[in-house]
Amino acid sequence: MGVAWKPKPLPRLVDPAVYFEVRDPVSVIEDQDSVWNLFHLGAEFKLLDFLSLRGGVDRGWLSAGFGLEVFALTIDASVFTEELGRHPGDDQRSGLALQAAIRL
């Protein structure tokens, strides 16, 4: 279950967005998962319709990234850590994601 809030203070100039999600609450009871594993929070701040700055928290771990759209070129990059275990710090992995595309 999730919710998003996208106010439009200055459309096409400044477009903020906040996302919140609760995932699989039954696992906290059945599998004794940590409550932190339920929550996902993210935010995006889009400037001038071509630059996006992003940040978030996934199961207690921070992530950050950016997006750039210039003419036909799109670039997205992010750094993240995700929890693979039942409790924070049990088994995590970190990564870097980079995507580039030419869109005609």
Check residue 59 and give its pLDDT.
Answer: 77
The residue segments making up the domain with residue 51 are 2-102
Residues 45-66 have a mean pLDDT of: 91
Is residue 98 scored above 90 in pLDDT?
yes
Q: What is the pTM of this model?
A: 0.76
Domain count of the chain?
Answer: 1
Structural contact between residues 54 and 64, judged by C-beta atoms closer than 8 angstroms: yes
What's the mean per-residue pLDDT of the chain?
A: 87
| pLDDT band for position 6 (cuts 50, 70, 90) | very high
pLDDT in tens, 40-52: 899 999 998 899 9
Question: Which tokens belong to 49?
Answer: 């319709």
Output the CA torsion sign for 46, 52, 53, 57: positive
Kind of pairing between the strands at 61-70 and 14-22: unpaired
